[in-house]
Amino acid sequence: MDAAAVLEKFRASGGRSFHTYPVGQVRDLYESGCAANGLSGDEISAVSDVVVDNFRVRIYDPQVVSGPTPVVLFFHGGGWVMGSLSTHDGLCRRLAALTGLPVVAVDYRLAPEHPYPAAIEDSRAALRWLFTSGDDHGLDITQAVLVGDSAGGQLAAVLAIENASAADSLPIAAQVLIYPMVDLTMSTPSYARVTEGFPLVADTIAWFADHYLPAGTDRTTPDVSPALAELPAGLPPAYVITVDNDPLVDEGAGFAGAMARAGTEVLYRHLPGYAHGLFTSAGRIPQGEKAINDIAGFIKHRTTA
C-alpha cells in the first residue's frame, strides 16, 4: 500500500489526531503537514490574490487560451476550522495545469472566530462574484465546476443544491466532492469504525462541528447536512470520491446514492485502504496524484462543448 509510509510516520510521531490540539496549533500542524506531503507547486502562468467582501480568493490562470472559459471554483478542507489557500495550493495548481482552466480557490473565514454560517455565506458570495465581477478577476466565465475537499465538499454540495433550486440559476457544469462532510448528525456506521490511529477520526469531526456550529444549531438543515436535503431536479453531474479509513465514508457513499436516485448523473469512486487526507498527501502517496489526474479528466469532459 503506497500510503503506508505516511501513516507509519504519523503513528511513530505519537499518532495524535487533529482534535487533540488547540486550534492555533492544529492550524500550524495542518499547514506544515500539507507542505511536507502535498504536491509540489506546478508553474502556472498567472497567480493572483483578490479580496472579495471579507475574504480572499486566489486565481490560478494557466492562460492556455484567451476568451470565454469554464472555471473551477475550489473550496478547501479542514473542518471549517483549519486550512487555507496555502494548504491546497499544490492541488489547485495541478488542477489548473491538467485541465487548462482557471482555478479560483476560496479562502473562506474559519471557525471558531467566524462560526456558521460564515463559511457558506462566503462560498455563496464567491460564486456570485465569479459570475458578476469580470472587471475584478479578468475572466470571461461561461460555466463553473464546483470542487470541494472534505468540509469544502459540504460547501460545494450546498451551493449545487441551492443553485439547482434557484429561479435564476447559474451555469454550473459539474460538482466534484472529495470525501465530503455532508451529514453533521454523525449517525452513519463508519463513525463507530474509525475512532483512532489516523489524523482524522470520529471525535475529530465532532470537534470540528462543535467549533463551527453555534450551540442549538439544527444539524439537519440543508446548508449544514446536504445529505439530508430534499434534492431538486437539475443537479449538475457529480463525481464523488470516498476512502476506506474515514468516518465520512458512509455519508459520502449515501449522498452519491441519493443524488443518483434523484436523477443526477453520478460517478462514484471508492478507494479502499486509504485514509482521509489522501489528496493533501498526494506528493507522498501516488494514488492521491493519480486520483487528481482522474478528477481533471472528469472536469475536462464536463466542460468540453
The single residue of 17, 150, 225, 281 carrying the catalytic annotation is: 150
d(CA 7, CA 201): 14
Distance CA 68, CA 123 (A): 23
Residues in contact with 31: Cβ distance below 8 Å, sequence separation at least 6, in sequence order:
84, 86, 87
Active site residue 183: no
Whether 149 sits among the annotated catalytic residues: the reply is no
In whole angstroms, what is the distance from residue 204 CA to residue 110 CA? 16
CA angle, corner 168, sides to 257 and 159, nearest 5?
Answer: 40
Candidate list 89, 107, 122, 246, residue with the active-site label? 246
Q: 153-171 b/e with 16+ CB inside 10 Å = b?
A: bbbbbbbbbbbbbeeeeee
Contact 279, 149 (CB under 8 A): yes
246 is catalytic: yes
- Residue 110 and residue 48: Cα distance in Å, rounded? 21
Using an 8 Å Cβ cutoff, are 279 and 292 in contact? yes
Strand 238-245 to 266-275 pairing? parallel
Residue type, 40: S
Catalytic residue positions, numbered: 150, 246, 276
